[in-house]
Amino acid sequence: MQQPFPMSFEKSNQPVPARWVLALLPLALLSSYVHADSFPADSGEILITPLVHSSVQLEYENTVVQIDPWSIIGLDNAKPAQLIVVTDNPGHHLDADAITHLSLDTTRVIITASGREQIPDGLVMANGDTLKVAGVTIEAIAAYDIIPGAPEHPRGDANGYVITLGGKRLFFAGVTECVAEVKALANIDVAFMPMNIPRGRMTPQAAAACTRLLNPAVVYTYHYDQDWARLLADPDGSPSELPGGLSVAESLDRFEEELAGSGIEYRRGDWYPLPQ
């Protein structure tokens, strides 16, 4: 499994500046290796491929679903999809070029209301909506902040989603804290939980506690290395510091420790490719 940071930085008490890594090689030369996991469903396996940051590919029977496709490291590992689902409107969630590249003539694109300008023909889902699109049942779940402060994620602006494939419920939380609408979910089989959101939102302890409430069979943490994403746009920016002085790698370990004894399988995923 790829490491989130070079090995020499893993036990540092400071987050590794993403610019130190990304300056080594152009983005076009970043590692393109991806690994697909599987999860049993009614008629075979659901293939789950972590792509980058909050971008996930699902495959089941003849259906491909893309969640938050992002072209920052290229799209060689992503397949055209019958359904594309977008949680929010910043570019690392809503990438119009990636959506165009991965769309078929019949592809349906689910967006939030804030994405109408970029994707005018997208199908808007509001918090609480349920639809069946391309043979897939989708529930839009509220995603928002509890702890105030920038960057703001106000209630009603973004979605998480529960996607049902093969009788299994996969929850993509988006960028949210453990809000009431998330706590109310039941019968989640696979959960994707954000972590290390700025202002101390969804610390490893908070993300693990929320995961325990949902009690999925499998959990992934995603959207957890904010510096990797943010410093792509501003290589001269200052790295942030995680609560408790943890490195990103240490925060993943802490999340796993907090889940100990729960019976929930933790899959880390290879979300942040490094230069070869």
Please count the other Cβ atoms lying within 10 Å of the Cβ belonging to residue 132: 9
Kindly tell me if the per-residue pLDDT of 9 is higher than 70: no
Alpha-carbon distances of 213 from 93, 203, 216, rounded to whole Å: 26, 15, 9
**What is the C-alpha separation between 79 and 98, in angstroms, rounded?**
11
Closest CA relative to residue 186, chosen from 203, 158, 164:
164
pLDDT value at residue 33: 59
Which tokens in the block code for residue 105? 């003539």
Kindly tell me if the per-residue pLDDT of 7 is higher than 80: no
Which tokens in the block code for residue 148? 């105030």
Alpha-carbon distances of 74 from 27, 71, 159, 266, rounded to whole Å: 9, 5, 25, 27
Please count the other Cβ atoms lying within 10 Å of the Cβ belonging to residue 44: 11
pLDDT value at residue 32: 52
**What is the C-alpha separation between 167 and 39, in angstroms, rounded?**
11
Residue 108, strand partner residues: 83
Alpha helical stretches, state H, 18-102: 18-22, 96-102
Q: What domains are there in the chain, each with its CATH number? A: 35-267 (3.60.15.10)
Identify the weakest region by mean pLDDT among 16-20, 101-105, 116-120, 272-276: 16-20
Query: If DSSP codes are grouped into helix, strand and coil, which group holds residue 59?
Result: strand
Neighbouring C-alpha atoms within 13 Å toward the C-beta of 179: 22
Name the band, by pLDDT with cuts 50, 70 and 90, for residue 5: very low
Between 194 and 273, name the one with better pLDDT.
Answer: 194
Name the band, by pLDDT with cuts 50, 70 and 90, for residue 178: very high
pLDDT digits (tens, 9 = 90+) for 204-249: 999 999 999 999 999 999 999 999 988 876 788 788 888 889 999 9
pLDDT digits (tens, 9 = 90+) for 99-126: 999 999 999 999 999 999 999 999 999 9
Name the band, by pLDDT with cuts 50, 70 and 90, for residue 69: very high
Report the share of the chain in percent with pLDDT over 70: 87
Amino acid at 111: I
Report the share of the chain in percent with pLDDT over 90: 75
